[in-house]
Amino acid sequence: MRYILKGFHILSILWIFSITGCSYMVKNDQNRIYSKSSYGEDRFIRIRNLNIHYVEVGEGQPIILIPGAFSTYRHWERMIPLLSQHYRLFCIDYPGTGDSDKPRTGFKYAVEEQADLIARMILTLEISGAHIVGVSYGGAIAFNLAARHPEKVGRVVSIEGNGLGNHPPPKNSYGFLESLLKWPVMGEVPIGVIRSGLLDRWVAKSIIGKGWKGLGEAEKKKVVEIVSQSNRTASRVSWYHISRTLKTSKNFSEEAKNISTPVLYLYGGNSDYHDMAKENAAFLKAYLSQAEVVLIQNGVHDLQLQKPVEVAGLILEFLGRNRFGRQSPSELSPSISPHPSLMR
């Protein structure tokens, strides 16, 4: 009887997590938000029958911020106060994350699909020429936008964005997560655990990796808070498809060779994806003379979470230059110093 009761308790717990995993919004026609943004205004736009949530903050020339895989706009929160002093920011929950729609069918979450939606968003909001800043999956989307929709893009900043060259996905990509989320019923259990908040600190430490020990306690608390808020809106179907995008997205490396806009590529020496990022950096150096590459020696994959001030300084210095390569001092914050790698 004791073993029967234990089995019943285990099944009950799994059932609770499964129900929790299923309780996300697939279609957000009501434009509901999980929690109000700490900065700016929560807004929605409808593109190709998909409700896309974004946060708008600041004034000036527009920048579109695209988060990484499985992440919401909140992954930019440590940088938003720094960038919004000088630019008008559009911080996106791309479809599949946050308060945006999470379609179960008819959308593969491929890089090119996300890029096409953002291109249409740029057109609808009449912010053509916006700078594009993305990290990881978002960095790949940024490259794809520049390659396939050049008329809509100003400058591009990619933090360890992929999609360049023909190298295979790294061994530490999302294969395990893909296998967990594949099945309709059992796959809801890990999502339920993620949504419950039980793994927030563990997920935050995994994201920061080797950089975790270098953060102060207040910084660690903030990163955990950001991760926690993002995890609350996780969904199995969208996360499953996003975990497969290294396989399902079209190779656009040939189109990328024709990118004409200035590009800044940032990658970390302690990144779990260092080899892939290094190959992408080599691609940029080989084919795009206007591309600048910066290696941050002790940086991790999600540099925007680990080193927001340094990364913001790099971005502001890069975007603040005019077309002749000279810096526009009015664009820079006096409290943020340019990175030595970008000094000319």
Confidence of residue 179 (pLDDT cuts 50, 70, 90): confident
Q: pLDDT tens digits, residue range 29-67?
A: 999 999 999 999 999 999 999 999 999 999 999 999 999
Q: What is the pTM of this model?
A: 0.88
Q: Indicate whether 312 pLDDT > 90.
A: yes
Question: Does residue 94 belong to any structural domain of this protein?
Answer: yes
**CATH number of the domain encompassing residue 145:** 3.40.50.1820
Question: Does residue 53 belong to any structural domain of this protein?
Answer: yes
Question: Does residue 265 belong to any structural domain of this protein?
Answer: yes
Q: Which pLDDT value is given to residue 91? A: 98
Residue 52's nearest CA partner among 87, 88, 89, 103 is 103
Structural domain that includes position 259: 40-174+251-342
Look up residue 145 and give its two tokens: 């936008």
Q: Give CA–CA dist 252/17, Å, rounded.
A: 39
Question: Does residue 17 belong to any structural domain of this protein?
Answer: no
Contact 166, 276 (CB under 8 A): no
Q: Which pLDDT value is given to residue 172? A: 56
pLDDT (mean) for 161-190: 79
Question: Does residue 280 belong to any structural domain of this protein?
Answer: yes
Question: Does residue 152 belong to any structural domain of this protein?
Answer: yes
Chain mean pLDDT for the chain: 87
End-to-end CA distance of the chain: 75
Between vectors from CA 42 to CA 126 and to CA 58, what angle results, nearest 5°? 60
Q: How many CB atoms within 10 Å of residue 3?
A: 7
Question: Does residue 220 belong to any structural domain of this protein?
Answer: no
Question: Does residue 148 belong to any structural domain of this protein?
Answer: yes
Q: How many CB atoms within 10 Å of residue 210?
A: 15
Q: Which residues pair with 50 in a beta bridge?
A: 47
Q: pLDDT tens digits, residue range 260-287?
A: 999 999 999 999 999 999 999 999 999 9
Residue 164's nearest CA partner among 55, 261, 72, 251 is 251
Q: Which pLDDT value is given to residue 306? A: 98
Confidence of residue 246 (pLDDT cuts 50, 70, 90): confident
Identity at 289, one-letter amino acid code: S
Query: How many domains does the chain contain in total?
Result: 1
